[in-house]
Structure 1
């Protein structure tokens, strides 16, 4: 049974140099046709009442959802409320660019049921923002947050990045200080990963991308964790920090290895034990739905051993780790019966803790999380 819904909006007015998500420039794109196609896809999926009877979260991602006009946003939200049962929805998030959120768009989102904003801020230094391909200013961030609060938004998060080209520790400390001064309920902070098919990847291959070394990046992560703790934000996942009661419910669905539907071009979902991905090209996505068919490119029925693997490498991202009682209830066996030697080895290395209630990363383990996760691939 799906707990959440992800809806992909692939349009952007500006393409960021580090982004590898499915996206296109907004201009001359079939935006209105795409929104109507989303409505068709939602209708087709949610006809399965049993699988979609208890949706807890909805997440608008991209691309950039706020690249849409107020009229287009309103139409999208109307379609969502038409086809997705809203009675159990606790959290309705929209990603946004600070320089695109007008008062009118904020009002459309809020009145349409969105109760959480996730702003792509990344840094507070103009030179770093320029390197990233971001077009907003610090004033855009401050004014948008203030306007969002006036409209009625209380749950606002911002994304930050470290390990950026040419970024110094002093700049990272300055970014954190400014972020804390905003006193928001939630922060996400990610190290830069240079993905293929991005501008940064091409620059790196040409030797034109100067990145901080691994030691400096680790120091930045240490600074992040220390400062968040000092200022009262609880780390509940490797890259996420929140005040009490404000952790992201939607992202917890992923880390809990629970099911969710993905709607839109290139979107991924996990429903009824099957992972699937949609066609990414807009024309293919739209034409398939106009023909009355689901736009699925490929599916994979997840095996029991794969579910156990995913439970470990997703669940260990949470600072609470993996509940042993929940694991046994879910899979009918103990973690030790599957991973006894791996657990002993990682405990000895100081990378995980293993007590009667849970298996979790230690602080040392958070620095090399991906290496730990790989140990649990069967």
Structure 2
């Protein structure tokens, strides 16, 4: 049995990620492991998920679960009965929940009627993250989204009726044909909703997407670098003025509503990864599951459906601690680093830390380091300093 290692102690895993790979259509920018729902063996997949859960908790028993995150695809394309079954198997295999558990599910506007949201709430989900992306219908059509702004308001109203008060929406900037004024309008309309959490990401043109094909042909009308920088500055200022803390490069929350599950990743803590194409990190070992739906279903019949699994060296774990931890704007803790690795942060990373502080991209804190105001704008340059700095890659 694998014994998870965290903060220098044996500690059972307390976070769960589950992947539902189905969606109504493939967005033009999406490179996630997702498949159009029509004709897919949904119940076969959910039963395979149950088998993976059973084998996973047998190999590495869970602790008291503090966060569950269901991503995709679009988990809310499940029909109410399928959703009910899915939530039951999660509860069956991860039965001990923290009193303040955060149980999040991603949702697309237009796939969340009141019946389905009620099933979700009754099954233990207490946080919904809606993929809104923009408040201009032309922009939504241009990125392959099937919802419109009316669907957004209807879905949020349904969620309130079903008993949800912890909701988040995703917005995107740097989209084709998007202007700074368009983003400003989207931020205004998002803030009018008064939600406790917002995630606002810049578009990344990923391989194996329609946008990548168009980009290669010089047919993707993206904003220029100056416009994209102005978009980011605008959203940071607007969110701050509205009383939201930017607790991570792309995430803003009212106090106490920071995403617990995402903090698991950014604090480099253990989490189970379940489902087709899911990644997990337990006991200093990372894994990635088989991606295809039918290959995943078949693989689970004979064991854990691993595509790849490998141990993380102490050096790589330390680099990961820096790279993901610095995404959080409170920064990295010298104390946590020393508890986890029994060595000194300032000694191990003396060169890159010194370089980034001198460049004005990192600030020293009482217990570690954090991105400076300039560093927030050039985070990728900071993170790159730590990639391979110990492992020699």
Alignment TM-score, normalising by the size of structure 1? 0.98
Structure 1 runs (4+) greater than 6 angstroms displaced: none
2:360 counterpart residue number: 350
* Shift, 1:341, TM fit: 2.2
* 1:271-313 Cα shifts (integer Å, max 9, x gaps): 111000001111111011123x110111110000001000000
Deviation at 1:346, TM superposition (A): 1.0
**Structure 2 residue corresponding to 1:129, chosen from 114, 136, 140:** 140
* Residues 1:63 and 2:89 are matched in the alignment: no
Look up the SS of the partner of 2:86 in the other structure.
helix
Alignment deviations for residues 54-82 of structure 1 (CA, whole Å, 9 cap, x no partner): 22111110000011111111110111111
Q: Does 1:359 align with 2:369?
A: yes
- Aligned mates of 1:141, 1:205 — CA distance in 2: 32
1:164 counterpart = 2:167: no
| CA distance in 2 between partners of 1:152 and 1:308 (Å) | 41
* In 2, Cα distance between equivalents of 1:343 and 1:84: 40
The answer for the alignment partner of 1:94 in structure 2 is 105
Provide the C-alpha distance between the structure 1 equivalents of 2:293 and 2:164, rounded to a whole number of angstroms: 32
**3-state DSSP class of the match of 1:359?**
strand
Which residue of the partner structure matches residue 36 of structure 1?
Answer: 47
Match of residue 187 from structure 2:
176
1:330 aligned to which of 324, 327, 340: 340
Structure 1: tracts of 5 or more residues without a match: none
Q: Hey, what does 1:286 align to over in structure 2?
A: 297
Aligned residues of 1:11 and 1:26 also touching (Cα < 8 A): yes
Moved more, 98-107 or 135-144: 135-144
Among residues 277, 285, 294, which one is paired with 1:274 in the alignment? Answer: 285
2:259, 2:366 → 1: CA distance?
27
Query: Given that residues 53 and 85 in structure 1 are in contact (C-alpha distance below 8 angstroms), is that contact kept between their aligned partners in structure 2?
Result: no
Match of 2:28 in 1: 17
> Structure 1 residue 333: deviation in Å?
1.5
Instruction: Report what 1:200 is aligned to.
Output: 211
Partners of 2:14 and 2:363 in 1: CA distance? 29
Q: Given that residues 343 and 354 in structure 1 are in contact (C-alpha distance below 8 angstroms), is that contact kept between their aligned partners in structure 2?
A: no
Q: Provide the C-alpha distance between the structure 2 equivalents of 1:201 and 1:151, rounded to a whole number of angstroms.
A: 39
Residues 102-149 of structure 1 deviation map (CA, whole Å, 9 limit, x = unaligned):
110000000000000000000000110001101111111111111211
Q: 1:103 and 1:356 mapped to 2: Cα distance?
A: 48
Structure 1 CA distance for aligned equivalents of residues 365 and 124 of structure 2: 42
The counterpart of 1:257, out of the listed 268, 281, 304, is 268
Return the alpha-carbon distance in structure 2 between the equivalents of residues 42 and 361 of structure 1: 38
Q: Is the 1:353–1:361 Cα contact (8 Å) retained in structure 2?
A: yes
Among residues 372, 375, 378, which one is paired with 2:385 in the alignment? 375
Structure 1 contact 3–253 (Cα < 8 Å) conserved:
no
Q: Counterparts of 1:340 and 1:225 in 2: how far apart (Å)?
A: 31
Q: Distance in 2 between matches of 1:67 and 1:81?
A: 20
Q: Is the 8 A contact 2:114 2:161 kept in 1?
A: no
Aligned length: 376
Inter-partner Cα distance in structure 2 for 1:313 and 1:139: 39
Which stretch of the first structure deviates more once superposed, 332-341 or 238-247? 332-341
Aligned partner of residue 53 in structure 1, secondary structure: coil
Could you say which residue in structure 1 is the equivalent of 2:3?
A: none
Distance between the aligned counterparts of 1:375 and 1:177, measured in 2?
36
Name the CA distance, whole Å, in 2 between partners of 1:186 and 1:239. 11
Name the SS of the counterpart of 2:316 in structure 1.
Answer: helix
Distance in structure 1 (CA, Å) of the matches to 2:322 and 2:349? 10
Question: What's the RMSD between the two structures over aligned residues?
Answer: 1.0
The 2-side partners of 1:311 and 1:126 are apart by: 40
Counterpart Cα distance in 1 of 2:14 and 2:223: 39
State the Cα distance separating 1:49 from its structure 2 match: 5.6
1:240 is aligned, of 241, 244, 251, to: 251
2:234 matched residue in structure 1: 223
Deviation at 1:355, TM superposition (A): 3.0
